[in-house]
A and B are shown apart, each in its own frame.
Chain A
Amino acid sequence: MPGAIYAEGLVKTFGDVRALDGVDLDVPEGTVLGLLGPNGAGKTTTVRVLTTLLQPDSGKAVVAGIDVLKHPNDVRRSIGLSGQFAAVDEYLTGRENLQMVGQLYQMSAKAAKARAGELLERFNLADAADRTAKTYSGGMRRRLDLAAALVVRPPVMFMDEPTTGLDPRHRQALWDVIEDLVAGGTTLLLTTQYLEEADRLAHDICVVDHGKVIARGTSDELKAQTGGERVEVVVHERDHIATARSVLAGFGMGATTVEEHTRRITVPVTGGAKLLAEVIRELDARGIEIDDIGLRRPTLDDVFISLTGHAAALTQEEDA
């Protein structure tokens, strides 16, 4: 039984560029899939195909049990889309925007009005409801855009980089909203360049690069693939690097790596905080002065770099 969002072998080319090169996805009902990747990886293109906005060259897509290519209009009744560019009409008030969207979801004018009022209240926009969206802050626009995606109760939601460009406070607030949404049973596909965001919100993560899914799993599984904990030491004196390295090698479970110019030595370990304390005592006993020491668990950033060979936010191509 395929999930609430299912895709098989999606291919889409724009001229010479293979924006999607055989994307497979399967998102179980009520879960969040984080689509993680740099700009230009194919995240937005995937969302556009799944939300009926773009016809793929080949492949199959099923959303909420409905074939996207055969019955796009039925799919549209079952999805909410919240985009990267906060698609609200800036010359309409918040209330007018939501009423219009409700009516275009085929609600009666009266029902659309009532729903708009409800959503404005819940998204903390009641005070600004009758001001044009032009006067809204970035955070308010995102909330209005998200509210527009929730005018009907869509069983499946797509959010394309919902927090890009938001300050940390607004990002946090939006995460809370998304978590509420998912607790209510909505299936969500979320694209993001922020590893932290995928880590916090997504049950499963697909890492995409160059139009392909290059890794998938839970955040913990992906981190485990990259390796376990490491001890990282920065020694004060360059002359101490060799000694410190041999100390660390004695505790390590694998090869030590040394970065000469930062005087940083890293070694994979098992044993956690207790082991860290032993390392510190041993280095101290040998008279090695340390600037910094810590136990590092891999972040999704490490996962990303080890998978793609580049950091998530480094490439600057436009997302096709």
Chain B
Amino acid sequence: MTTISTTTGPAAPRPRGGVVQSVRDSLVVAKRNLIRMLRIPEVVIFGLIQPVMFVVLFSYVFGGSISVGGDTSPAAYREFLMAGIFAQTVTFATAGAGAGIADDMHKGLIDRFRSLPMARGAVLTGRTLADLVQTTLTVVVLAVVALIVGWRTHTSLGEVLAGFALLLLLGYAFSWIGALIGLSVRTPEAATSGGLIWLFPLTFISNAFVPSDNMPTFLRHIAEWNPFSATVQAARELFGNLPPGYPVPDAWPMQHPVAASVMWSVVIVLVFRTLAVRKYRSATV
């Protein structure tokens, strides 16, 4: 089956080290994860069903019953709602990243990677980058659905793109939380549920689906300082989806949502990337 020349392969080149190697290794891993996504399209498709369902359900069931800045028309709510749905959708990347990494642990692939002379963070960075690509695709499809049900933006193209950029940055940040969860649990199933349960309170105790000003004081404070709310508010501003009479809360993140959104996302990436990479280096099944 084989000859003696099995052993006369090339010697491993000396690693370049530093940022160049990190970027290159991360891209190699990202490519691997993207190939997987193409070969398991169900994952991407199921990832789309829930947000599309939410768009349709929320805009037709709740639309008309919720007052947004004094406007109770379904059209006003639809415009208000969309940034919330977009933000909730991007945070679902958490579950994807978590399940993917837990699966790699389970199958022994993480051991394979850890025995290779590759950059330390590359397996996780590659995964989160691939998830970012998937999230972007999901958001594009969702935006089309939103346009169909009547969502419109009222600002410049640059502002709209900036809004989407903030949303994707939030999704990228959350996929690092997922990476940490994936490394901490024993099975992909646990990573999926562990990545999803806390997202529901997080996304509901926020300004995503209803204005926070009607919430009890305690919840309102949480909602106003929720990292998630900052991005939703920023996207609404940048899309021009805040109705004229909408009262902007006094809390700092609501007054400066773009800055707050960037800050929160960057902090999440820094904290969870550090924790996840540390966990990866000592990962055992």
Contacts and interface: CB of A to CB of B under 8 A. Distances in A.
B112 A180 contact: no
B214 interface: no
A177 B112 contact: no
A51 B113 CA distance: 11
B39 A51 contact: no
Interface stretch (A149-157, A214-222, A235-243, A280-288): A149-157
Contact of A105 (B3, B12, B16, B108): B12
Contact of A150 (B1, B7, B29, B116): B7
A81 B10 contact: no
Interface in A83-127: 83-92, 96, 100-101, 103-108, 111, 115, 118-119, 122-124
Given A89-B109, A92-B35, A151-B9, A177 B114 contact: no
For chain A, the bracket of interface size reads 35 or more
B10 A104 contact: no
Contact of A180 (B4, B39, B40, B116): B4
Contacts of B29: 100, 104
A77 interface: yes
Nearest to B21: A106
A186 interface: yes
Contact of B36 (A85, A91, A108): A91
B7 A104 contact: no
A142 to B, nearest CB: 12
A185 interface: yes
Contacts of B279: none
Contact of A87 (B28, B32, B36, B111): B111
Contacts of B118: 104-106
Contact of A83 (B112, B122, B284): B112
A55 B281 CA distance: 10
A78 to B, nearest CB: 7
Nearest to B16: A106
Interface in B1-35: 1-16, 21, 24-25, 28-29, 31-32, 35
Contacts of B2: 122-124, 176-177, 180
Contact of A106 (B6, B14, B112): B14
B34 to A, nearest CB: 11
B10 A85 contact: no
Contacts of A55: 282
B104 to A, nearest CB: 8
Nearest to A93: B35
B15 A91 contact: no
A148 B112 contact: yes
Interface residues of B, number: 41
A79 interface: yes
Given A104-B118, A177-B1, A78 B12 contact: yes
A122 B99 CA distance: 35
Contacts of B116: 76, 101, 104-105
B130 to A, nearest CB: 12
Contact of A124 (B1, B10, B16, B31): B1
B9 A53 contact: no
A183 B116 CA distance: 24
A168 interface: no
A309 interface: no
A151 B13 CA distance: 12
Q: Which of B1, B115, B117 has the most CB of A within 10 A?
A: B115
B154 interface: no
A89 B108 contact: no
B12 A77 contact: yes
A56 to B, nearest CB: 12
Contacts of B11: 152-153
A88 to B, nearest CB: 8
B278 interface: no
A81 B15 contact: no
A52 B6 CA distance: 24
A15 interface: no
A123 B14 CA distance: 27
Contacts of A293: none
Interface string B270-285: 0000000000001010
Contacts of B256: none
B35 A86 contact: no
Given A54-B284, A83-B112, A73 B7 contact: no
Interface of A: 48, 51-55, 73-74, 76-79, 81, 83-92, 96, 100-101, 103-108, 111, 115, 118-119, 122-124, 132, 148, 150-154, 173, 176-177, 180-181, 183-186
Given A81-B115, A185-B7, 16 more contacts: A53-B114, A73-B15, A79-B115, A81-B111, A84-B108, A86-B108, A87-B112, A104-B113, A107-B13, A108-B13, A119-B9, A122-B5, A124-B1, A150-B9, A177-B6, A183-B4
19 contacts: A51-B115, A53-B114, A77-B12, A87-B112, A88-B109, A104-B29, A104-B122, A105-B117, A106-B13, A106-B14, A106-B118, A111-B10, A115-B9, A119-B9, A122-B2, A124-B2, A150-B6, A152-B10, A185-B7
